[in-house]
């Protein structure tokens, strides 16, 4: 069975100023963080359409029919403002459909939503991702704190597996490569916590599953690639298995 996925986010632009004695000049670079996942799913039954963060402002559907071709929507390292403030609203003061409410309706009707962690996921750096209190948060198996929720783990942390027999963890060893950070979240009552950071490093949830209406939802609170995922984790054979299993569970009825 082919699983159709829309991955939204995981891109950014950096602007740098270079100083050389009296002189200076600027440079701009565009970056994407989705490549480890896209590479891992090549040749599989998972078909991913990748929409960068800057394209999502106008390119993400404004009508629920625009998501009809997808089984799963992934929000990864992209804040709520990108969906709430498209150019028609921000620049022209026009009204448009609220896409966060649309996503909640889509999940309730049987769509499947995954949020992946990062500096602009959940509540994010300085609280700027702003997913707390939104209709999208209503669908997730976790709730967001009202503050900067990043947990940096520079020494690295190895996941503690709580439900090794769960289908999402099938075929995975118990010893995972290190993770360098997560977003701190609060699991909802009834949610399934499959993995977490060890207790002596905070015990924060890493992989949480749930549902909303007819749809399934999941929260992976670390990154999809560097910097919170180590290169060792991205190169680990279990990386592809984990995502294939998770996508399969989201679509399994």
CATH number of the domain to which 205 belongs: 3.40.50.880
> How high is the pLDDT of residue 140?
98
Residue 85 forms part of a structural domain: yes
Is 64 within 8 Å of 105 (Cβ atoms)? yes
- What's the mean pLDDT in 3-9? 98
Whether residue 175 is predicted with pLDDT greater than 90 in this model: the reply is yes
- Quick check: is 120 in a domain? yes
* Overall average pLDDT of the 53-77 stretch: 97
Mean pLDDT of the chain: 97
Q: Above 90 in pLDDT, residue 209?
A: yes
**Average pLDDT rounded to a whole number, residues 98-121:** 98
**Given a cut of 80, is residue 192 above it in pLDDT?**
yes
Classified as helix, coil or strand, 63 is coil
Residue 19, domain member (yes or no): no
pTM here is 0.96
Query: What pLDDT, on the 0 to 100 scale, is given for residue 60?
Result: 98
Share of the chain above pLDDT 90, in %: 99
Q: How many domains does the chain have?
A: 1
Is 122 in contact with 204 (CB distance < 8 Å)?
no
Q: Which two tokens stand for residue 100?
A: 């966060």
Residue-range definition of the domain harbouring residue 224: 3-11+27-251
Residue 153's pLDDT band (boundaries 50, 70, 90)?
very high
Containing 239, the helix (H) or strand (E) segment is: helix 237-251
Residue 253 has pLDDT above 90, yes or no: no
Instruction: Give me the numbers of helices (H) and strands (E) for the chain, helices first please.
Output: 8, 14
What integer pLDDT is reported at residue 59 of this predicted model? 98
Q: Does 168 map to a domain?
A: yes
pLDDT at 25: 96
Which pLDDT score, from 0 to 100, does residue 251 have? Answer: 96
């Amino acid at each position: 069975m082919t699983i159709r996925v829309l991955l939204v986010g995981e891109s950014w632009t950096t602007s740098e100023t270079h100083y050389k004695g009296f002189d200076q000049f600027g440079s701009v670079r565009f970056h994407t963080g989705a490549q480890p996942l896209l590479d891992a799913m090549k040749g599989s039954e998972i078909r991913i359409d990748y929409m960068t963060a800057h394209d999502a402002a106008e390119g993400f559907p404004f009508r629920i029919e625009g998501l009809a071709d997808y089984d799963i929507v992934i929000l990864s390292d992209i804040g709520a403002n990108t969906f709430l403030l498209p150019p028609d609203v921000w620049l022209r003061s026009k009204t448009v459909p609220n896409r966060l409410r649309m996503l909640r309706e889509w999940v309730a009707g049987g769509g499947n939503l995954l949020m992946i962690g990062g500096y602009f996921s959940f509540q994010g750096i300085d609280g700027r991702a702003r997913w707390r209190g939104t209709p999208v948060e209503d669908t997730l198996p976790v709730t967001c704190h009202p503050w900067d929720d990043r947990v940096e783990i520079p020494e690295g942390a190895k996941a503690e597996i709580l439900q090794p027999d769960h289908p999402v963890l099938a075929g995975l060893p118990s010893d995972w490569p290190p993770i360098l950070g997560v977003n701190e979240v609060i699991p909802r009552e009834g949610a399934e916590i499959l993995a977490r950071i060890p207790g002596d490093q905070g015990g924060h949830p890493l992989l949480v599953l749930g549902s909303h209406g007819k749809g399934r939802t999941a929260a992976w609170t670390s990154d999809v690639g560097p910097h919170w995922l180590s290169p060792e984790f991205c190169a680990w054979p279990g990386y592809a298995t984990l995502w294939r299993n998770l996508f399969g569970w989201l679509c399994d009825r």
